[in-house]
Amino acid sequence: MHPARLWKPLKNGAAQCRLCSHFCRIGPGERGICAVRVNVDGELCTLVYDRAAAINVDPVEKKPLYHFHPGSRTLSFGTMGCNLGCSFCQNWSLAQPPREGRQVAGQEVTPGMLVAAAVEASCGSMSYTYSEPTVFFELMRDTAALARERGLLNIMVTNGFMSPECLTELATLIDAANVDLKAFTPEFYERVCQARLDPVKKNLARMRDLGWWIEVTTLVIPGLNDGPEELAAMAAFIADELGTETPWHLSRFHPDYKLTDRPPTPAATLETAWKIGREAGLDFVYVGNLPGNAHNSTVCPACGQTAIARSGFSVVDGPAPGGKCMSCGAGLAGRFGD
């Protein structure tokens, strides 16, 4: 149990959590929607400050970030808990147990231990990921500050449903984010995710204004968000509000958690979605979770040749130094270091 930040006291010992856009009102002894923040005698506390449920060294491509220091390693960790309740959750064993009343499990960690593990493993960055990092904000913030002191970059893999205050606190600490855009109708967010679309759209635009490198991921689910009009609306939003240089990752759905009544996304649907993204003017559209597909490498917008060749999550060639196309030398959008 650790004191939470970003909350305010209400009458009768209640507290309002201001960490995400649910803004839960939490009575004494109760937990918020994410079930990892609890009101103890009128004080809001977090149950996950010192509990990592998963820690791994990953290629940064696995986040997925394809234009952010390609080929580098990132120390990835997450606690249990999520502020969304998506029926299709692909990471439900970490994200959903607290909401189902189960134990908040994990190994004991400190920010110092996590940053030391990253340095030891020659990682260039920390990634706050796996579940939803917003709900382990205090651990993320302290770790990110320490990581920055040690010369590491900070990556957030998020559903984008944090509060404006949370984003303000993270503004200067985070370098890059992969943000889910799960669908483009308020109804989907409310019914399937138990959240709202509007805060996600606003936060995406604000992250761009903060100067974070942004890549967007959409899990394409048969019958739920795979209509051409909806995909075109998403692609237009990304192009118009975030910029045509923003990579869009179209990820293949597999039946999981509570959504087991439909098949994996057909390859043809992903191909159609890819075309829709390109027709909207997006320079970089990728297909994920579909081994061997044709849209995993980066094609240079200037010359049409392969600029970064990948096999799965491994970079096998490119880019040229400084993030330039291997063929024509044009600069690629992204953050590439020296």
Residues that bind ligand SF4 (CB under 6 A): 17, 19-20, 22-24, 32-34, 37, 83, 135
Residue labelled with tokens 């880019």: 319
Residue nearest to ligand SF4 (CB): 32
Q: How far is the CB of 32 from ligand SF4 (least distance, A)?
A: 2
CA atoms within a 13 Å half-sphere pointing along the CA-CB vector of 97: 12
Nearest-CA neighbor of 6 among 42, 49, 50, 45? 45
Q: How far is the CB of 33 from ligand SF4 (least distance, A)?
A: 4
User: Based on CB atoms, which residue is closest to ligand SF4, 195 or 280?
Assistant: 195
Q: How far is the CB of 48 from ligand SF4 (least distance, A)?
A: 11
Q: How far is the CB of 128 from ligand SF4 (least distance, A)?
A: 14
User: Based on CB atoms, which residue is closest to ligand SF4, 79 or 296?
Assistant: 79
Q: Which two tokens stand for residue 78?
A: 């997450």
Please name the residues in contact with 147: beta carbons below 8 A apart, sequence gap of 6 or more. 115, 118, 125, 126, 153, 154
Distance CA 243, CA 169 (A): 24
Q: How far is CA 123 from CA 64, 92, 96, 120, 267, in A?
A: 16, 27, 29, 8, 34
Q: How far is the CB of 163 from ligand SF4 (least distance, A)?
A: 7
User: Based on CB atoms, which residue is closest to ligand SF4, 33 or 123?
Assistant: 33
Q: Which two tokens stand for residue 129?
A: 């990921």
Q: How far is the CB of 155 from ligand SF4 (least distance, A)?
A: 20
Distance CA 75, CA 148 (A): 14
**Which amino acid is residue 151, in one-letter code?**
G
Q: How far is CA 164 from CA 6, 190, 202, 240, in A?
A: 11, 20, 9, 22
Residue labelled with tokens 């970064």: 308
User: Based on CB atoms, which residue is closest to ligand SF4, 37 or 249?
Assistant: 37
User: Based on CB atoms, which residue is closest to ligand SF4, 37 or 252?
Assistant: 37
